Amino acid sequence: MKKNYRVKLIAGPIIYLGLANGENPQEVLNGWGDAYTSTHIESIQEVSEIPPAPPDYSTLTLTARQFFIMLANSGYVTPEEAVAAAQTGAVPANIAAVFATLPSEQALAAQITWAKMTTVARNEPLIAAVGASLSLTSQEIDQFFIDGQAI
């Protein structure tokens, strides 16, 4: 018979384990390396079920069209800036401000990426930089891409 456990790490995620009856969760975790020793574990609780894993949105993509429409619809750029970006690759003021904060090599890569993008990947470093500058959480960026796919 299998037993399920919820493990809360002190400075980390919650981990769920499904172990064969008689297996000790602490011993299993110790075998995973230093990050999972008893000094790093806040609690271990037996649970009836392991919840489904949260969806992985990191692989979502939008077309440039969807991306520009979402930027305008969300108020991150003006409608005029979104149209100019779609037509010519022009960089809206909010986005240019992000580029200005990057080290020169990263800024160059970001500018070229912006000018030539046909699709925008959720896991693109440019998205992380823009999201951070707009004080967006990871969940808000995920929702931006989810909503954008409906366009």
Where residue 126 falls among pLDDT bands split at 50, 70, 90?
confident
71 and 43 part of one domain: no
Domain with 12, as residue range(s), is 2-47
Beta strands in 29-96 (DSSP E): 41-47, 61-63
pLDDT at position 35: 65
Report how far apart, in Å, the C-alpha atoms of 114 and of each of 23, 29, 33, 104 are.
52, 44, 41, 15
129 and 67 part of one domain: yes
Whether 54 is covered by a domain: the verdict is no
Pairing of strands 41-47, 14-20: unpaired
Whether 53 is covered by a domain: the verdict is no
Taking only the tens place, the pLDDT of each residue in 64-123 is 999 999 999 999 999 999 999 999 999 999 899 989 988 999 899 989 989 999 999 999
Q: What are the b/e assignments for 50-76, b being 16+ CB within 10 Å?
A: eeeeeeebeebebebebbbbbbbeeeb
Q: Which two tokens stand for residue 93?
A: 């003021």
Whether 55 is covered by a domain: the verdict is no
Taking only the tens place, the pLDDT of each residue in 131-149 is 888 889 999 999 999 999 9
Q: Tokens 């970006």 map to which residue?
A: 85
Q: 28 forms bridges with which residues in the sheet?
A: none
Report how far apart, in Å, the C-alpha atoms of 143 and of each of 14, 84, 89, 125, 140 are.
22, 24, 24, 17, 5
Pairing of strands 61-63, 119-121: antiparallel
Angle at 102 between CA 97 and CA 105, to 5 degrees: 130
Taking only the tens place, the pLDDT of each residue in 27-62 is 888 777 776 776 788 888 999 889 888 888 889 999
130 and 92 part of one domain: yes
pLDDT at position 92: 94
Beta-carbon contacts of residue 129 (< 8 Å; ≥ 6 apart): 98, 101, 102, 110
pLDDT at position 55: 86
pLDDT at position 33: 73
Q: 20 forms bridges with which residues in the sheet?
A: 2
Provide the domain count of the chain. 2
pLDDT at position 20: 87
